[in-house]
Amino acid sequence: MKFSAREDVAAPIEAVFEALNDFDGFERQAMRRGADIRRTDPLTQPGVGMQWDVAFRMRGRQREMTLKMIRYDAPNEMVFDVKSAGVTGTFSVELLALSRSRTRMALGLELTPLTLSARLFVQSLKLAKTSLNKRFKLRVADYAKGLEDRLQRSA
């Protein structure tokens, strides 16, 4: 099962990539929404090997997963490996400079079930794929707009 979204941001690729490297900010944002996040790597700079243990409620159940950065190509791409009980996947963020002041941001999430119960979970997501994909795209668009606004204010 795959979700994807693309948005254009009126900012240089370096500024967008730098904003996407605010992992502390993402952690705080997720905690405000009820997730429990714990960083488990000793790295001091963003890069391959960064890892988080995450716990959150989804569809009425407590979910736990591990997120690990497996590719870091500044300022073009970050790829994360997602592992959970019965589900594995990949989350990718790709940036493409359209001009000196415009960047295309493409986000993708691909989930693969490993167990029967995970297959049922992913199948339930597939049944609601249209609405979930719409919500995913709206969230990405909101994030891109907020990012654009923040970067224009700070310039």
The residue written with tokens 């791409």 in the block is 77
Q: For residue 99, give the 3-state DSSP assignment.
A: strand
**Count of structural domains, the chain:** 1
- Determine the pLDDT at residue 155: 65
Please state, for a pLDDT cut of 70, what percent of the chain lies above it: 99
Give the pLDDT mean for 28-37: 92
Are 23 and 46 spatial neighbours (Cβ–Cβ below 8 Å)?
yes
In this predicted structure, which of 7-11, 57-61, 133-137 has the lowest mean pLDDT?
57-61
Q: What are the structure tokens assigned to 142, written together?
A: 């909101």
Q: How confident is the model at residue 21 (pLDDT cuts 50, 70, 90)?
A: very high
One-letter amino acid at 124 equals S
DSSP-derived 3-state class of residue 110: strand
User: Average pLDDT, stretch 17-37?
Assistant: 93
Closest CA to 59 of 107, 112, 118: 118
Name the residue among 17, 69, 83 with its Cα closest to residue 41: 69
Residue 124 pLDDT class (50, 70, 90 cuts):
confident
Query: What average pLDDT is seen over the chain?
Result: 93
Does residue 71 carry a pLDDT above 90? Answer: yes
Residue 59 pLDDT > 80 = no
Of the two residues 70 and 117, the one the predictor is more confident about is 70
Q: Which two tokens stand for residue 50?
A: 């960064």
Q: What is the pLDDT of residue 60?
A: 83
**43-48 long-range Cβ contacts below 8 angstroms, 24+ apart:** 46/21, 46/72, 47/72, 48/72
The DSSP letter of residue 95 is E
122: domain range? 2-154
Q: At 93, which CATH number? A: 3.30.530.20
pLDDT of 8 reads: 96
